[in-house]
Amino acid sequence: MRILIYPHAMEIGGSQINAIELGAAVRDLGHEVAVIGEPGPLVDLVEKLGLEHLPLPADRKRPSPSVARRIRGLVRSRRLDIVHGYEWPPAMDAAGATLTVPGATAVCTIMSMAVAPFLPAHMPLVVGTEALRRHSAARRPGPVHLIEPPVDVTLNTPDLPAAAFRSEFGLDRDSGIVDIGVVCRLVPELKLEGVLTAIDVMGTLGRTHPVRLTITGDGIARADVEARAAAANAAAGRRVVVLTGELRDPRPAYAAADIMLGMGSSALRALAFGRPLIVQGEQGFWELLTPETVDLFLEQGWYGLGGSGAPALTAHLLRLLDDPALRSRLSAYGRELAVERYSLLRAAHTQLAIYQQALAAASTRPAGARAWEASRSAAGLFTYKVDRKYQAFRGTQRRDDFNVAVLAKQAMKP
């Protein structure tokens, strides 16, 4: 098969890293794979994995009729079979690009738990949690598949060296320091609340315990994070929070940590590194991954909604700090879970089967039905865009969560 992967961005982030790594794994199974996207840090990863990168302008609309036309030209000239969009704007471009080309079809992956209701109803949809699969399958006629966010357990391994990382950022190991790590984009959506809470906890806990938080990442909220980190360091009387900025290869940040905080793909990468994991969510959610809590995350994804915030995080950290044997057990448990359930090779075989099913289904779907579905999808997108502009005018614009809050609340019910 000839496949074009279209991540929603080329900045460092979980969904787009999954798209590229999984594309390379499918290539390794004997297929032709290229990646299309704007210039950005992840172009290095594309090239490192030996994939072709096809450029797009950074200042384009999302979704974009001009991008759909460009991809349609590639579909025809390269005789592409699959255009795979990650998150809804690339998926809409992919659907538009393949609509009038026989023998080609589009596939959509949503790793954010936010499935737009205006996606073409029969477009094959891939989601990352069982809860979202059930929720989506009950509301759309097309196929909904589950691929839990994969992680390369060969590249992400507990024995990766971290000495150079520690030296670069002054992370000495004197006085029995326990290093806590978080790797994420510093943006208001999803991430910032938990990062600021963790910083505040360090400012208090660091007065009495040998702990240190290292934050790896960058983004528009960096100034807020730096200000809160300075306050925590002052409160603790020492450097309890360290900011490294964004790293093209953040693996040493995981390797240098004794305990990881995270959500989504970052949480799974922490497991691959064999680090005890405290899962971060929103509205005060923090939960330690153990054999007793794992079913919650297998159901709803590596995220949660609602909790006590700083007291919950403090309690989980104290439990780990006071029990090195527990840290060791959870390290081994997390690594085993990553290898057995979230390996990249397993996900690649599943994705390949989805592509084969998508091509078979597209070949039997009448052109008129595809055109009617596309028109309904375009109308839904237009309504959504108008509503967003109205919200912006009123100052009430919200993040595109579509159904994520509903699902998280359902999963948290006893």
Determine the pLDDT at residue 12: 85
Percent of all residues in the chain with a pLDDT value above 90, rounded to a whole number:
75
Based on the fold, state whether residues 322 and 366 are members of the same structural domain.
Answer: no
Based on the fold, state whether residues 186 and 288 are members of the same structural domain.
Answer: yes
What does the DSSP assignment read for 303-359? --B---SHHHHHHHHHHHHT-HHHHHHHHHHHHHHHHHHSBHHHHHHHHHHHHHHHH
Based on the fold, state whether residues 59 and 35 are members of the same structural domain.
Answer: yes
User: Going by DSSP bridges, is the β-strand pair 286-288/277-280 parallel, antiparallel, or unpaired?
Assistant: antiparallel
Element (H, E) at 178: strand 178-183
pLDDT per residue as tens digits for the range 305-357: 999 999 999 999 999 999 999 999 999 999 999 999 999 999 999 999 999 99
Residue 24 in any domain: the answer is yes
Q: Which domain holds residue 186?
A: 163-341
Based on the fold, state whether residues 303 and 352 are members of the same structural domain.
Answer: no
Phi and psi angles of residue 271, each rounded to the nearest 5 degrees, phi first: -65, -40
Residue 292 in any domain: the answer is yes
The CATH number of residue 320's host domain is 3.40.50.2000
Q: Kindly compute the dihedral angle of the four CA atoms of residues 367, 124, 109, 396, in this order, to the nearest 10 degrees.
A: 70
pLDDT per residue as tens digits for the range 71-106: 999 999 999 999 999 999 999 999 999 998 999 999
For the record, the structure tokens of 93 come out as 């471009």
Report which of 130, 113, 412 is spatially closest to residue 299, judged by C-alpha positions: 130
Based on the fold, state whether residues 28 and 78 are members of the same structural domain.
Answer: yes
Based on the fold, state whether residues 366 and 259 are members of the same structural domain.
Answer: no
What domain count does the chain have? 2
Residue 406 in any domain: the answer is no
Residue 253 in any domain: the answer is yes
pLDDT per residue as tens digits for the range 354-371: 999 999 998 888 777 777
Based on the fold, state whether residues 198 and 316 are members of the same structural domain.
Answer: yes
Determine the pLDDT at residue 412: 43
Residue 414 in any domain: the answer is no
**Of the residues 297, 319, 341, the one at which a domain ends:** 341
Based on the fold, state whether residues 176 and 89 are members of the same structural domain.
Answer: no
Based on the fold, state whether residues 40 and 180 are members of the same structural domain.
Answer: no
Determine the pLDDT at residue 50: 97
Rounded distance, CA 349 to CA 323, Å?
Answer: 39
Average pLDDT, the chain: 91
Based on the fold, state whether residues 109 and 124 are members of the same structural domain.
Answer: yes
What stretches in the chain show pLDDT beneath 50?
Answer: 404-414
Adjacent-strand bridge partners of 4: 34, 83
Residue 408 in any domain: the answer is no
